[in-house]
Structures are given as structure tokens and as C-alpha cells.
Structure 1
Amino acid sequence: MQPFPDDEDTVGTDPAASGGWAGSGDDSVGAHPTPTLTRLADEGTAFDNAFATAPWTLPSHASFFTGTYPSEHGTHGNHTYLDDDLRTLPEAFADAGYQTIGVSNNTWITEEFGFDRGFEDLRKGWQYIQSDADMGAVVRGEDLREKLIATRNRLFDGNPLVNAANILYSEVFQPAGDDGSNRSTDWIDDWLGSRTDDRPFFLFCNFIEPHVEYDPPREYAERFLPEGASYEEATAVRQDPRAYDCEDYDISDREFAMLRGLYRAELAYVDHQLGQLREALVAHDEWEDTLLVVCGDHGEHIGEHGFFGHQYNLYDTLLNVPLVFHGGPFTDGGRRNELVQLLDLPATLLETAGIDDPELREQWSSRSLHPGSSDDARDAVFAEYVAPQPSIDRLEARFGDIPDRVRQYDRRLRAIRTPEYKYVRGDDGFERLHHVRTDPFERTDVSDEEPETVRRLRRRIEEQFEPLADAGIVEEVEMRDGTKERLADLGYL
């Protein structure tokens, strides 16, 4: 399924008893990285034209947690917190009597940024023992000396015994090439087997392996690397998207080919974890009663359009994401080609579970994808990039003089996509138009040739967003040092 997801999320609900998750699949050597997801799509319903509302984790998750666009929820690069006055999907399920569990492997999706609301338990997948103290500085040490210094500086930040256990796990026992998904899968398996709560449950999990840095297990990487490339050569390629954007270093075509191979291997590894989750649900007699949703929160550039990572633009490479439903009314639903958005998840899940939540419904722009829904189909989808992340000031602080092409990304972008056209407009006057039926990779700007189409789509964007409250420039939430280091490791800072 192209384009591939970056972070991959699974959302499970079980109106009958308890809820869940994912698929299985054949992990035999080959060029196809996602047999589990393909099997789920074949057995359930796949949405081929699903779009995120933003090209990176924080605003995209905020949208499908609340059913709102970035202009509405106001969570973006200059305001990195999901405001308390917004109703969330986990809150709706919790108030409807569900046990609500979250497992996050992405530092953005934590209580620090407001994503814990509605969850009885929101676990941090990168920690062996749940703790507010993050030992990420130890993990990122380049050599033994750096690791020892980081241990000395951080060990007593909170409970030293808990910190020591987390360091031991990350440095000795964490599986090679895994960034939390294996342990998350094991934890969910154990939780399913040990729970005695008779309530149905809502379960959310974010896997982060398909994300910089791409470091899949060797056995997965070797399936997808280009001919003649070794695992050692591929993993030695520098992976620093912001430095690449700022022309601090270059990546050759061959190196990009190796990075794409590593990325596909990361997808294959996560796909295997989805299979393990499906097996756990089957083993604990939950599978038949489970509604499963698998989606990517955004895509990834690995050389496309001259970018590395997922910032500063609204190309479909970043917005067109996988979306698969399995179970209940979505069984044997085939492939659906209508335009849909990730922010349609709240309306869809609540209708499927038979839950009415007036507070959430009042705020959302969500439309149900339930096969029996009376909601109108979309004739267009929208996306926003409210503020650069990281900011241009941060790039200048790190790199000094930055290229003019990067400086021009200090702008706000909005996009509309119809079945035929994609139009993007910036608050600096930037605009481009693509005829996506003949130019699906958005390489040719036809705005000069079709001025009437530009005017029509510009009006649609203004009608959609101008009445909304402006997501203004607000000071960022102060992050803990450990959070900053982990986000920098993921290419965000």
C-alpha cells in the first residue's frame, strides 16, 4: 500500500466484551513489507484515499482524537498542547462505560502534551518501568563515556532504582532494532490474559519504528536493501532530516535507495507485530468481537520533492495514509475509493459502537464511514500546516545561515484535495495547483494554466477555514530535557 505510514496506530473497540487490534501474516522473505495489513484489508475494508489533516504527529493525532482540523484544535508547532476544553475520543468511550487503555511509543503522545485525557492508563512504550524520569540521554550516548556521564547526571532524577532498571532494559535487554513495538505487543498480550474487568474496552497504540532513525533488525533489513548494499553500509548513512534540509550534508541517490530499504524493513517489522497482536486476540477469545482500525498518522519523504522527513509542506506523500478497518460491519467491505480523513475516526467509531456523545459531536468536523451511515460523502479533503516544526529560528540557532529555500518555509499552509485537483496556498502568497489524475506525484504546477480552478479552490479553502478561530502563535509548552532529547533523536527538534 503506497505511500507507507510513518508512525502506525491501531485503535480497537469491542462493544461486546473487550477490544482490540491487529492481524497476522506471512513473514517469508520477499519484497512485500506488509502482508498482515494486506490480509486485514482483504478481510475487512480498506480506504485507498484516506488523508491526514497535517503532515506530522502532534496535529495529526490531535485531529483524530478530537474530530477537528488543526485550525480548530489549535495544536501545532507553536502550541504543542491539546487544550483541555476539547473533548477526546477516549473520554467519550470512558464515559460510555469502556475501559480505556493507551500505549504510546512516540514522545508527543503523552500526558506532557495533553493526550492522556480519557485514558485510565497511558503507557510509555520506551520505558521498562513507567516513570516521569526519561533516561533517553543514556540510550543516545555515542560511547561508553557518554553513557556513563548521562547515567551520573540522570540516575537520581526521580527514583534511582526505577531509572537503573530502565537503563538496564534499554542498554542490555531491549531487542536489537526494536523501538518499543515488541514490548508493547507483549504487554498487551499479558494484559489481555490477566484482565478481570468485564467492561468492554477501547485500546489505542502508536508504533514508531517507521520513523527516523530507520534501524530495523538485520534480518528484516536484508530483505529490502538494494542489490549490493550491506546492512552495515545502509545503517551507516547519516539520518538527520533537518541537517539535510539545511544543506548541512548531502545524501546520494544510492544512499536514499538504502534508506528506503531500511524504511520498508521497519514497516515489515511493525507488520509482524500487528500479526502478533492478532494472535494474542485470537488466543484470548477477543478477535471475533473486535473492531480494529489501523492507520498511519502521516507519511514520509525519503528524497521525494527534495525532502527528508515530514515537515514544511503538504504533498500527498505526507498526507495520503493507509486506513484499514476490520470487524463488525466492515467485514468483507472491499476497497473504498471515496475521499476520507483521519478525523472521521471519532464519528465512525462512535456510530459503530452505538455511542452518542453530544459534546464530542458538537465540536467535530467528523463524518462517519460506517457502511450504513447517513453522513454525506466528502467531495474534498483539507489539510493544514500551521507553523514550522522546528521553527526557522531553531534551525538558525543550530545551523547558522540557512538556505533561502528553507527560510521560505516560515509560513502557514492550507490545502484542498478533490478527486481531480490538489491546491495548496500559503499565507505568504505561495500557491500551487496539480491535476492529480494525470500528475499524482504533484510534479507539475498548473496554476497559471487554470486560473479559474485556482479561484474556485481558493474560495473552498476560505469557506472551510476562515470562520474558524485562528490557531494563533502561542508559546510552546515547556518540555522536560529528556523529552527534548528524544524528539531531537526523532528529527523533530
Structure 2
Amino acid sequence: MRTIQVMFDTLTRKFLPNYGCGWVQMPNFERLSRYCVRFDNFYAGSMPCMPARRELHTGKYNFLHRSWGPLEPFDRSVFETLRANGVYTHLCTDHSHYWEDGGATYHNRYDTWEGFRGQEGDRYVAHDIKVPLPAGRNPLNKTGISTDQHYRNRLRQQTEEEMSGTKTFAAGLDFLAEHADRDNWFLQIECFDPHEPFYVPQKYRELYGLPEEETLNWPRYGLVPTGDYREDLKNAAREYAALMTMCDVHLGRLLDFLDEHDMWKDTALIVNTDHGFLLGEHDFLGKNFSPLYDELAHLPFFLHLPGQGGGSCDALAATVDIAPTLLALFGCSTEPMGEMDGTSLLPALEGKASHDTVLFGVHGSYTCCTDGHIVYMKANAAPENGPLYEYTMMPTNMRGYFSAEQLAAAELVPGGRYTNGLPCLRMPLKSFYKAQSFGDRLYDLDSDPEQLYDLAAEDGALTAQWKANLTGALRRAGAPEEEYLRLGLK
């Protein structure tokens, strides 16, 4: 068996032609329909970037116990399990969070990896020398040190060939050229695009009528301010679409290689993402801070098995299912991984249900549950948003360590399902999320797919039922006891 996983960051489902979008130019994503099963009820788990990747490695929910952080010493990575079973694993990526404090243990789980610098605010080109920002930047654009860093990084990415996403796919194709006649390997091509900032050559922007100067290409997170920003939000969508089209071109090069080398008959392909993005929908920009609407949590997912044609699957599935699916593809036992929240997706292709409900959320913010028809988003019950803890043996944030106050309050606690039975440190956390200010949300996706009508305050019986459903799902996932208190479930 050979398996390729192509992972794009921030790939929003509603922008893909496979899911009904008619204006974004992505012919190579449309080509996936020839060979891949399109999953229609696939959900995120832990958001954003590194929490999602922890689920990719472990098959367990991250957000109930931990915010953004590295793979833990007590975690069991599917890629190490594959290696132990004779499967060679290789990662090609330009996702710079892999080599920051809060992500520096993930890429080392692969046999080999290649990394390409310069995306987003990657601390890459020396930023003590300032580069003037473009004049007249839209007021909805992000500002700050990462923005300054981005413009310094762009000095080394003037052409499409110099861009790190292009280099990432080229490295993946180099690996395939060397391994097209070999067996028992896994290749992960992970492209940071189309994550913001939406930096893309003008030839792609011209497809969407965008001028030479930037419009709204790095939206700052939060509520859209009061005022008429309709045209600005349209421009943000166009900027995003232009970058998606460049991603589509990268994907096309991979599909061409698979066609030319007749690899569909003996190679599996996964195309996935970690989360989506809000571009003014529900009056929000970005992710994390808003209720976790469908644009963020309901994800595109494609799976090809050797010899299989296209089609669709409506089974409920989630990111935690990818690790057990990889083990199933290579005929490996799940026992070395310990108890996982995910299950293999292979039975789902035969019409067998994988889950009754799945969880998704952000640590210290919304905790959500869905069956693919109803989605329930539970906010913290009290303004202080506690009790809340980090369970870890790796006390780092995205960049930097935990505070001295957190470390001083650390206590060693017994292990459980989450830690594979090993003890770990528990440290208090004060979250900056304000889910309570937006309140609990309950939506009927069948009658209200745009999530315009919140039923949480209107249908007491349905809300009570979904409180019970969420409580049961949290019990099965081994959520810490304080999570029930934080959410007002007990």
C-alpha cells in the first residue's frame, strides 16, 4: 500500500465547486470527482492549526484538555506506529508552526521531512529592518509584528516559483518520482495556503477582477465593525478565491503525476483541511473567536482507495478518524495507539455508520456536538470562564513558554484515557475567549443550512436533549470534570 495525504490549511467548504460553488475557478478539485469519494458530513475536531494536527497524529480530541501545543511525550503518533510496521513516512510542508515552540514535536514523528520557510508571520527574514506597508491598506486588515514580518518575508517570494507552497508541492513530486515504483510508504504534502494572508501572484488575482494593489487580503479576527463593508468583504472573498485557485494548480500537478504513472490503481489519496474561515458570514472575520459555524467546522474531505471511482458519502466523520483510517489502509493494528476517539472511515464507504455524534471546539471557548443534522454549540456558563486547565508535559504556547504563575501552580495529576494512563501536569489557564457573550447556539442544519435561526432559546425540549447528547459525548471522550462545570452541565 502507498498513501498520499494532501492537506491544505483553511480550506473553506462553501468555496469549492465539489460542494456547489459556481464562481471559484478550481478545475482540479473538480477532477477529484473521478476517483475520490466526497464526504458530505465531515467535521473538524479541535481548532485551530496545531490542535487539529494533534488529532491527526493521535486520533483523540485535543481541545477538551489542551490549547495550542506540541505533541506530548505521552501521545502515540500514528506515523510512528506506521514506521514500526515497516511503512516509510515523509512530510513536505511550509506550515511554519511546526518549528515553533507550540508545534516543534510533530514533524519529528515522520521518518523524514522537508520544510519551506516564509509563510505568514514566520520569523524568517530579519524584521528589524522595516519595510513600508502598502499605502491605503483596508482598515479590516491585520496589523502588528506578524504583518511586518510577512512583508519582510515577501522580499524572498517575488515569483510563484519562489513561494513556499510551490516548493512544498515540488518536493512532494520529487518524493513521488523516487518512490513511484516502491511500496509501503506514506507521503504528506501539507500546504499552508490558502491560510491568510492571501498573498498570490497577480495573474490569479486578475481572474477575479482584483487590481494590482491589495484590497482585503489579511482579515483581522473578530466582529465586522459597524459600517458598510459589503464591497470590502467581497474583495476579501476574491482575494481568498485567487489563492485557492493557485492551490488548485498545485493539486493539478499532483493529479497529473498520478495519471501519468497510473498510480490510481495502487495508491490511496486523502485531500483534507483543518478548518475553514469566516469572511463576513454571521458578521465575523477569521476563526476561533466566533461561534463555530459551519463555515469553520463543516469541512471538505476526499478519499480515494486503489481501484475505486468517485462518489459521495454522507456518513458522519471527523478529523479524529484520519489516524485509524491510515492504520486500516496499511493493515496495522490500532492497539499500539491506545483508545482513540476516531474510527476507520473504510466501513463508512460501505454504508456503515462511524459515529452517532462528533465533538468539535476550541479549548476555553465553545464546546460543540453534532449528528450532521443538528449542531449544538455550548458556551461557558459564567463570565470568568472557569474552571479551566491545561493538561500537559510540554508547557509551551505557540511562541514561548507558560507564564511563571502557571508553572508555579502546576500539579502532577494521575493519568487517564487522554494521557494513555501516564501522569501529567495540570496548570490553570485564563482564556481570552468570550463565548458567553455570544451565548449557546442550536441549529437545525436540514431546514436551516445557513444557520440563520438559533433555536437554543426557542426550543427548550430540543436544547435539553442536546445538552444530554453533549454530556454523553464528553463522557465517552474522557473530558475532565471541570469542563462540565465550565459549561454549566452540572
Tell me if TM exceeds 0.5.
Answer: yes
In the TM superposition, what whole-angstrom CA distance separates every residue of 1:394-431 from its partner, at most 9, and x where no partner exists?
xxxxxxxxxxxxxxxxxx31111124321111122631
- The alpha-carbon deviation at position 208 of structure 1 amounts to 1.8
The corresponding residue for 1:488 is: none
- The structure-2 alpha-carbon separation of the partners of 1:417 and 1:179, relative to structure 1 and needing over 3 Å to count, comes to farther
Select the structure with the greater relative contact order (CA < 8 A; seq sep ≥ 6): 1
Equivalent pair of 1:241/1:309 in contact (CA under 8 Å)? yes
Name the structure with the higher helix share. 1
SS at match of 1:109: helix
Is 1:241 the equivalent of 2:220? yes
CA distance in 2, matches of 1:53, 1:344: 10
Identity in percent? 21
CA distance in 2, matches of 1:102, 1:82: 16
- The alpha-carbon deviation at position 278 of structure 1 amounts to 2.3
Alignment of 1:92-171 (within 5 A): 92-110=81-99, 112=101, 113=103, 114-126=105-117, 134-138=123-127, 141-143=130-132, 171=155
Is 1:321 the equivalent of 2:274? no
In the TM superposition, what whole-angstrom CA distance separates every residue of 1:191-224 from its partner, at most 9, and x where no partner exists?
3334699552111122122121112221212222
- One-letter amino acid matched to 2:202: R
Q: How many residues end up aligned between the 2 structures?
A: 390
Alignment of 1:153-232 (within 5 A): 171-172=155-156, 175-176=159-160, 179-194=163-178, 198=182, 200-225=184-209, 230-232=210-212
CA distance in 2, matches of 1:232, 1:139: 27
- The alpha-carbon deviation at position 240 of structure 1 amounts to 4.1
Is 1:427 the equivalent of 2:380? yes
- The structure-2 alpha-carbon separation of the partners of 1:141 and 1:332, relative to structure 1 and needing over 3 Å to count, comes to farther
Structure 1 stretches of 5 or more lacking a match?
Answer: 1-14, 145-166, 388-411, 474-493
The corresponding residue for 2:57 is: 65
Alignment of 1:322-361 (within 5 A): 322-328=300-306, 331-360=308-337
Equivalent pair of 2:92/2:171 in contact (CA under 8 Å)? no
- One-letter amino acid matched to 2:189: C
CA distance in 1, matches of 2:302, 2:366: 28
CA distance in 1, matches of 2:98, 2:92: 9
The corresponding residue for 1:154 is: none
- The alpha-carbon deviation at position 461 of structure 1 amounts to 1.1
CA distance in 2, matches of 1:367, 1:97: 22
- One-letter amino acid matched to 2:32: L
- The alpha-carbon deviation at position 116 of structure 1 amounts to 2.1
- The alpha-carbon deviation at position 363 of structure 1 amounts to 2.6
In the TM superposition, what whole-angstrom CA distance separates every residue of 1:126-150 from its partner, at most 9, and x where no partner exists?
269xxxx952445994249xxxxxx
Equivalent pair of 2:6/2:189 in contact (CA under 8 Å)? no
Is 1:271 the equivalent of 2:248? yes
The corresponding residue for 2:392 is: none
- The alpha-carbon deviation at position 55 of structure 1 amounts to 3.7
CA distance in 2, matches of 1:71, 1:212: 23
- The structure-2 alpha-carbon separation of the partners of 1:98 and 1:169, relative to structure 1 and needing over 3 Å to count, comes to farther
Equivalent pair of 1:55/1:314 in contact (CA under 8 Å)? no
- One-letter amino acid matched to 2:124: M
Is 1:439 the equivalent of 2:448? yes
- The alpha-carbon deviation at position 111 of structure 1 amounts to 7.1
- The alpha-carbon deviation at position 352 of structure 1 amounts to 2.0
Could you say what the CA RMSD is over the residues aligned between the two structures, in angstroms? 3.4
- Length-normalised TM-score, structure 1: 0.71
- Length-normalised TM-score, structure 2: 0.71
CA distance in 1, matches of 2:360, 2:457: 22
- The alpha-carbon deviation at position 298 of structure 1 amounts to 0.3
